[in-house]
Structures are given as C-alpha cells and as structure tokens.
C-alpha cells in the first residue's frame, strides 16, 4: 500500500470511529426526542458525567471493563431520576418544549458546576486498557486497536437496540406509547413508566459513549459543550427523531471531521456547521425528518 493510500485509509477509519462515537451520543438524544418529544439540552452533560464516573471507578477497582458497565448504569439511573422528579412535572405543567429546554439547560449547568466541585477544573487522563493498547494490521496498515473497539461497540449496541425496538413486545409497546399514549394507557400499559424507561436508556447510551470516549478525549468540564454541539448538528442533519438519519449523519460528519482536519485544519471546526446549513437549505427537516 502506498503512503498516500495508507493515509486515506487511516483517515477513513478515524472518521468511522469518530462517527460511531458520535452515533452513540446522538442516538440517545434522538431516542428521547423522537419518542418523548423532549429536546434534552443536558444530554451531553450526562456524556461528560459518565467520563468522570469512569475516572473514579478506575481509581477504585482499576478495571476498565467494570468501568464500562457501571458508570453508564449510574448515569442512566440519574436520567431516570431526572425524568421522574423533574421532567414529568414540567410536562404536566403545560409549558411544552420551552419548559423542557429551560429545565434541561438548568440541569446541564448544575452538572457542570458539580464536576468542577468534585473533580476540579483540570483535565483528567484515562488510560486505554492494556488489552486494547496495541495496534492491528488493516490492509497492510497498522491502526490503534482501541478505535476499532469503539466501532465494534457502537455496532453491537445499535444491533441490540434495533432488535429490541423492532422485534420484541417491549419495543412494540414503546413505539405504540409514543404514537398514541392515550390508547396504550387505555389498554392497561403504564405509559409514564415506558417514557421513564426510554429516558433512562437514552441517558445510558450517552453514558456508554462517555466511557468509551474517555481514553481518547481528555475528560474536562468543557467536554459537554464540545460534544454537545456535534450531537446537535447530527440530530438536526439526520432529522429529529430518526435513528437511521442519526446513523447516516454521524458517519458523514465523522468522515468530514477526519478529512477536514487532515486537509483544511483551519476550517475543520466550522465544516460541520457549514454542512448543516447546506442540508437545511435544501431539506429543512433533515435527511429523514418529517414535517408534523
């Protein structure tokens, strides 16, 4: 393989890894909005919180695999608490999307101040687990094994999630509760419990992404803003509430970010927003969004 070809392959895999990481974050946001109609501005803060939980877990047990399991569950529990105690009351107040936005913005600010109080303002470095520290040959090119692990992890979660949502009774109940909650409630299904479960799963997915990203991205208080902007662009470009659109937009923007950094580094930070502007100019609902 020539050096130029190797460079293109490496950048493509980098873009795929980053795109799948963005998908892990954005899919939870898409799930919550598509099924509950809640645009959760605190979603990226849950992602960041999982990174800090991962750091603390590694300090206690020194086992990355336990850290990959427990912090996302803890973040999911926090999400369930937020939905049950706060979001449900705001929804009952009749404030609509404005109430959701203000509440979740406030929660994100609280989380940001809490991590500064407990972990400080300095960036925290999390080491890649020894099992995934090496490099693997891909078409004659050596590539970091951990980034390939992120791709496999994201694909596995996507497959499990799609299987549950479209092939199980629970998935049918969730989709029915979203489209017609009154009818589903009349049939004896506890729709508030379904929505609480959906919010918990969405924040859990953000937690998984936060732990997976921690060894690559330094964990610091501004991480939520950094990843939150990318996730917002993906949800808008893919179409609000569309899981397929989220996947397509994540892959496209992951590659755009990777090759942008390689070829036009000065413009790389704005490429995603420029791409969003172009897409919305021709299709205001995003790739797979629908007008209400």
* 160-206 residue pLDDT tens: 878 877 788 777 777 676 666 677 777 777 778 888 888 898 899 99
- What pTM, to 2 d.p., does this model score? 0.88
**Is residue 123 a contact partner of residue 59, using CB atoms and an 8 Å limit?**
no
The pLDDT value recorded for residue 76 is 94
Helix axes 43-61 and 3-36, enclosed angle (nearest 10): 110
- Report the mean per-residue pLDDT for the chain: 85
Mean pLDDT value across residues 232-251: 87
At residue 100 the predicted structure's pLDDT band, cuts being 50, 70 and 90, is confident
27 within 8 A of 246, measured Cβ to Cβ: yes
Q: In this structure, are residues 161 and 174 in contact, taking their beta carbons and an 8 Å threshold?
A: no
Question: In a 3-state reduction of DSSP, which class is residue 143?
Answer: strand
Least confident of 27-36, 127-136, 174-183: 174-183
CA pair distance 274, 265, nearest whole angstrom: 15
Dihedral over alpha carbons 264, 268, 271, 273 (to 10 degrees): -160
Distance between CA atoms of residues 261 and 254, nearest Å: 11
β-bridge partners, 144: 135
Q: Is it the case that residue 292 has pLDDT exceeding 60?
A: no
Residue 139: both structure tokens together = 């078409």
124 vs 215: CA distance, rounded Å = 10
Other Cβ atoms within 10 Å of 79 Cβ, number: 29
Name residue, tokens 């998935």: 171
Nearest to 25 by CA among 231, 284, 246, 292: 231
Q: pLDDT tens-digit profile of 198-237?
A: 889 889 999 999 999 999 888 998 889 888 888 888 988 9
Domains annotated for the chain, with CATH where assigned, are 3-282 (1.10.3470)
Please list, in sequence order, all residues whose beta carbon lies within 8 angstroms of the beta carbon of residue 151, skipping any fewer than 6 positions away. 16, 17, 20
| Residue 181, pLDDT score | 66
Distance CA 7, CA 44 (A): 31
Alpha helices per DSSP H over 86-238? 88-93, 97-119, 145-167, 169-179, 181-186, 191-213, 223-238
Q: What integer is the mean pLDDT of 67-75?
A: 93
Contacts of 103 (CB under 8 A, 6+ apart): 86, 87, 90
């Amino acid at each position: 393989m020539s050096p130029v070809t190797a460079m293109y392959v490496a950048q493509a895999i980098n873009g795929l890894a980053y795109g799948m990481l963005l998908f892990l974050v954005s899919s939870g946001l898409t799930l919550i909005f598509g099924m509950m109609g809640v645009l959760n501005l605190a979603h990226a803060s849950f992602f960041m919180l999982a990174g800090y939980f991962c750091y603390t877990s590694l300090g206690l047990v020194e086992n990355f695999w336990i850290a990959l399991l427990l912090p996302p569950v803890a973040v999911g529990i926090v999400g369930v608490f937020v939905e049950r105690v706060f979001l449900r009351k705001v929804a009952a107040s009749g404030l609509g999307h404005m109430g959701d936005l203000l509440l979740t913005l406030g929660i994100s600010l609280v989380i940001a101040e809490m991590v500064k109080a407990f972990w400080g303002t300095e960036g925290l470095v999390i080491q890649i687990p020894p099992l995934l520290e090496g490099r693997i040959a891909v078409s004659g090119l050596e590539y970091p094994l951990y980034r390939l692990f992120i791709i496999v992890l994201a694909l596995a979660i996507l497959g499990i999630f799609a299987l549950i949502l479209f092939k199980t009774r629970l998935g049918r109940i969730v989709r029915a509760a979203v489209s017609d909650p009154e009818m589903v409630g009349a049939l004896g299904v506890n729709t508030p419990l379904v929505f609480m479960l959906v919010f918990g799963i969405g924040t859990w997915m953000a937690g998984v992404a936060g732990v997976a990203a921690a060894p690559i991205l330094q964990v610091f208080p501004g991480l939520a803003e950094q990843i939150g902007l990318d996730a917002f662009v993906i949800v808008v470009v893919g179409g609000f509430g569309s899981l397929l659109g989220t996947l397509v937009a994540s892959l496209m923007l992951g590659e755009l970010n990777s090759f942008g950094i390689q070829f036009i580094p000065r413009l790389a930070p704005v490429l995603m927003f420029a791409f969003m502007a172009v897409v919305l100019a021709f299709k205001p609902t995003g790739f797979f969004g629908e007008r209400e």
